[in-house]
A and B are shown apart, each in its own frame.
Chain A
Amino acid sequence: MTEIISAYMPEFIITVFIIFNLIASLFFSTYLYKLSKWFTLFGIVLAIASTIYLQIEPEFFAFNATFLTNIYTVFFKILILMSGFFLTLLSRNMIREKRDRAFEYFSVFLSGILFAMCAVSAVNFIVLFVSLEALSLSCYLMLSLNKNPNAKQLTFGYLVQNAVVSSLFLTGVSVIYGICSQFGFDKISLYLLNANVESSQPQILLTFSLILIICAILFKVGIVPFSSWLPDTFEGASHPIGAYMSLVPVLACFAVLSRILMTFLHYTYTIKIVLALISVITITFGSLSMIRQENLKRIMAYSMSVQSGIMLLGLCVFSVYSLSSVLFYLFCYLFANIGAWSAVILLYNSAKLENLDDLKGIIFHRPYYVIAFTIILIALAGLAPTSGFVAKMYICSAVARSGFIFLPFLIAALLASVILIYGYWRIIRAMFRRIETDILIDNSVISPKFILYACSAATVIICLFADKMIRFCQLVAYYM
């Protein structure tokens, strides 16, 4: 019993707050709607606290060994909860418009976070499937909040494609079950080890099914052959939901992806090359598409795709060192991405600015805002005095370390990242354009501004104190 409490406490707290939100939505949905935000924030802080303090022992299992918590899952859960904390603050203006839906919105929001956390902890394909599906479901619900008919059309593609991909995932899982009659990760990997010794007959089918599963996960993080849904969906989504979709599923899916790759596919060399190739293509294609976009949300969508590509390049090496570099990259990506979205949200909330052309000459009106946004974009581009540089350097060093065969991919990715830099540079250039306009950025909204300044400070501070975080990431990667 105590083990279940230790393993499942944060999820339990989030569940309780979901139910509270639902009950509250029956009573004070139109008035006291502000309560919902504080309520949610309180729940998330409580969950973070319980995650940190209950996790004393290295490992806990729950629910018949389908649910694992260790330092690896705790790391990801804290990242997810932190992004949930920031996103709650960012959705302030949206819930002010839809005050009758505030409590419902936050219950869906929290359930997304809950299932992301479950997906991180899942060591069983059934649990994993249910969590990922429920995460997608909460995404559909939040996407449908935008009442614009155009938005419905744009986001419908996501629903359809996600359904197809879920069927791929299920196919993979059922084939695996057909071969090993198991769902648990540890048992399947044990079977793989034995099969390796005895005969190589089911090996191909197994690899094939695992590739199907990996494809389904790559779809959710926007790697290239599966990234066609990204720009449209992001354009159709409201801003906080775009921020949500570029963070929470990415964090959860990278936790799952690295676990699947490390557990099952460490024996194959071909898949490493394929993944490296895919990631380089993603970086190139995403950056090239990004420099042609005018809408900020579409730019952020391609930015998410490219960042996932960089992380996949780090992940495809399959070593503890490279995993730690990916963890560190995720940590830095969280702050930079949240900061960028908060800047975009600030622009939208103040004067409905969505396109690059609208940004002309903001430097004259809000110089500090522009400087903070510039720092964050520099961090996303992976340039020098910010956390993005350290993260990029760490990932590239992990790739360089892993052998000559990856070096062509590394130089290709580095050269493609110049296009990425140009893609972010366009936003900076637009803001610094020397044209007098009369844009007014709303001063009254505190939370996005606070997050913007905090994140831009955080990117610089992480760069300076990166050593501690890197050590921690190495520890986490070692215990996975």
Chain B
Amino acid sequence: MEFLSLIWLIFLPIIAALIIMFPRFPNHQVLVRRFAKWFASFHFIYALFFLLFFDTGMYGMSYEKELTFFGMSWLKSLGISAKFAVDGIALLLVVLTTFIVLITLFMSKMHIRSKHKLYYSLVFLLESSILGIFCAKDMFVFFVFWELSLIPLYFLISQWGNQEARRAATKFTVISFVANMFLFFGMLLLYYYNFAVSNVLTANIDSLNMNEKIYPLWFQITVFINFIIGFCIRVPFVPFHFWYPDVQSKASAPVNILLAGVLLCTGVYGIIRFNIQVFPEIFKLFAPVLMVWGIVNIVYAGGLAIIQAGIKKIAAYAQISSTGFIMLGLACLNTAGFNGAVFTALASAIVYSALFTVISSIQFRTKTTYITSLGGLGQVMPKCMHLSLIICFCAIGVPFLMMFTPKLMVLTGAMLSNLEQQLLVKIAAFIGLCAIIVSAGYILYFFYKVFCSVLLEQWKKVKDLSVQETSVLSVFCLVIIYFGIYPMSIVQIYQSVSSIILDILQV
């Protein structure tokens, strides 16, 4: 499979962005949009090929490839090389990213009215940087892509959002840079103390595993905390979540889909890749804390979701609440919990980007996102109502839809967890179970207020979904139903990774 090269996969979007930005490329919105859509479709199919030829039984990374510049590796004298490889989780996230970007580009037509060339090239730059995050095998290459992703994000949020978007984007960027500095500091510490212990100057993530080496405990804890601060802002977990609803309510609709579908997975991936794989001992030490943190996340964000007035904010808080399940699942330290956590990340990305797609259609027609000024849209938008019913049920966790299995797995994992604090574990599982009911509350409230209550006078002439939107939402619903009925098709792809990680954790 020589034609399957991760380098091409990562850097093709950058090439597309450069083609779009090239001065000779016609500055005509239809042409730009068509080119972008065709390219994204091609790229999605290319990513699917990776999944097709992926050996699920393989132990470790596959498709390894190094980026060289005329035979030289990048920063070889500092022990840093631009190596890329994927395992099961990363590959799923890569496919998810290309899928979400494709969907975003299909939804961009209605909402993006100016600076088309800049918009589409920034989307491709963002895609490239996120693919780089998932594929990087080297710590600093990971960090390069991690920082690179902020630059297109800032412009995507600030340039096409509403009037207050610039302020929200600046807030998000500054907070992210502070987090990045913690992350960078942790990486530098790790890099040099690995060098001091093993006398090999390397930043390769696989060779940084702290299990075999003797580090002082305080050092490991310091680095661990630095890393987790860096990642938690991106996920986002509760005390650092404030940017997310803010940005989501002010950014334009396609950017909402991108943020919900792609960005949040990078943080989860970082936690799995660094906090678990590099510091297994400390992760075990911190597992009860993280479990409580996850529960706080679920309950607190769920509570905030109930009282929100904007539908975008409801969806954003609902997503933050569902990320609590990821933390809970990871902290269980068993197979069911881990598998459930990864599955939750994937499922919440798909479900909430679908929800944001619905919201974007509503916003485009009514020009408002306040829940009090919406109502009864189901009478004029029946197609939209039926499709979003499936999506809303999925977000709650109704059986045979995509979100059911991961929540079940996480809660089972929590029940079966072998942590020392058994009482805590049981309480956590119980609260998680109750939180599902709360989530049913706010999602159904959202659904009822938007689609079912009395139809207001001003929305009587609202048109139903166009063909394009219907097809996009149908694709989402098909994905949701398919993986709800047959969840093992996803789980078996990353089964080997979870067994590796549980080996590392020695549980």
Contact = CB atoms under 8 A, between A and B. Distances in A.
A357 B78 CA distance: 42
A394 interface: yes
Interface in B97-126: 115, 117-118
B200 interface: no
B174 A422 contact: yes
Contact of B140 (A393, A410, A415, A432): A393
Interface stretch (A8-16, A278-286, A378-386): A378-386
A390 B141 CA distance: 11
A394 B75 CA distance: 10
B63 interface: no
Interface-centre pick from A393, A396, A401 (highest chain B CB count, 10 A): A393
B192 A400 contact: yes
Interface stretch (A58-66, A254-262, A462-470): A462-470
Interface stretch (B182-190, B301-309, B340-348): B182-190
B184 A407 contact: no
Contact of B74 (A363, A384, A421, A464): A464
B462 interface: no
A434 interface: yes
Interface-centre pick from A383, A417, A467 (highest chain B CB count, 10 A): A467
B147 A397 contact: no
A471 to B, nearest CB: 5
A400 B223 CA distance: 13
B166 interface: yes
Contacts of B159: 432, 434
Contacts of A368: 23
B197 interface: no
Interface string B67-78: 001001111111
A383 B150 CA distance: 10
Interface string B176-203: 0110010011001101100100000000
Nearest to A420: B177
A410 B192 CA distance: 14
Contacts of B494: none
A98 B140 CA distance: 50
Contact of A390 (B75, B148, B178, B195): B75
Interface string A169-180: 000000000000
Interface in B137-179: 140, 143-148, 150-151, 155, 158-159, 166, 170, 173-174, 177-178
Nearest to A392: B184
A418 B179 CA distance: 10
B21 interface: yes
A394 B181 contact: no
A418 B177 CA distance: 6
A407 B72 contact: no
B192 to A, nearest CB: 5
- A: contact size bracket: 35 or more
Interface-centre pick from A367, A394, A418 (highest chain B CB count, 10 A): A418
A420 to B, nearest CB: 10
A415 B146 CA distance: 17
Given A389-B144, A397-B191, A432-B159, A467 B185 contact: no
B181 A417 contact: yes
A38 B147 CA distance: 42
Given A384-B144, A397-B191, A411 B75 contact: no
A429 interface: yes
B74 A466 contact: yes
B21 A371 contact: yes
A192 to B, nearest CB: 31
A414 B185 contact: yes
A425 interface: yes
B173 A400 contact: no
A429 B166 contact: yes
A394 B155 CA distance: 28
A425 B148 contact: no
Nearest to B118: A367
B158 A466 contact: no
A432 B73 contact: no
A418 B75 contact: no
Interface string B28-55: 0000000000000000000000000000
A422 B185 CA distance: 19
Nearest to A370: B118
A385 B144 contact: yes
Given A371-B21, A417-B181, A418-B177, A410 B72 contact: no
Contacts of B21: 371
A414 B158 contact: no
Contacts of B144: 384-385, 389
Interface string B251-278: 0000000000000000000000000000
Interface in A387-438: 389-390, 393-394, 396-397, 400-401, 407, 410-411, 414-415, 417-418, 421-422, 425, 429, 432-434
B192 A429 contact: no
B96 to A, nearest CB: 23
A470 B78 contact: yes
B74 A425 contact: no
B188 A410 contact: yes
A450 to B, nearest CB: 16
A474 interface: yes
A400 B191 contact: yes
A211 B23 CA distance: 54
B192 A401 contact: yes
Interface string B57-85: 00000000000010011111110000000
A465 B192 contact: no
Given A383-B151, A425-B170, A470 B77 contact: yes
A464 B69 contact: yes
Contacts of A407: 189
Given A396-B184, A397-B192, A432-B155, A421 B177 contact: yes
A222 B420 CA distance: 57
A466 B75 contact: yes
Contact of A411 (B74, B150, B173, B185): B185
A368 to B, nearest CB: 7
A397 B78 contact: yes
A189 B109 CA distance: 71
Contacts of B178: 415, 418
A471 B148 contact: no
A418 B118 contact: no
A384 B148 contact: yes
A467 B72 contact: yes
Nearest to A470: B77
Nearest to B72: A467
A465 B69 contact: yes
Interface of A: 363, 367-368, 371, 378, 383-385, 389-390, 393-394, 396-397, 400-401, 407, 410-411, 414-415, 417-418, 421-422, 425, 429, 432-434, 464-468, 470-471, 474
24 contacts: A363-B115, A378-B151, A383-B151, A384-B145, A384-B147, A384-B148, A384-B151, A389-B147, A400-B188, A400-B191, A400-B192, A401-B192, A410-B188, A414-B184, A415-B178, A418-B177, A418-B178, A421-B174, A429-B170, A432-B158, A465-B69, A466-B74, A467-B77, A470-B77
Q: Which 4 interchain pairs have the tightest Cβ spacing? A: A384-B147, A414-B181, A400-B188, A384-B148
Given A367-B118, A384-B147, A396-B184, 8 more contacts: A384-B144, A397-B188, A401-B192, A410-B185, A411-B181, A418-B177, A464-B74, A468-B72
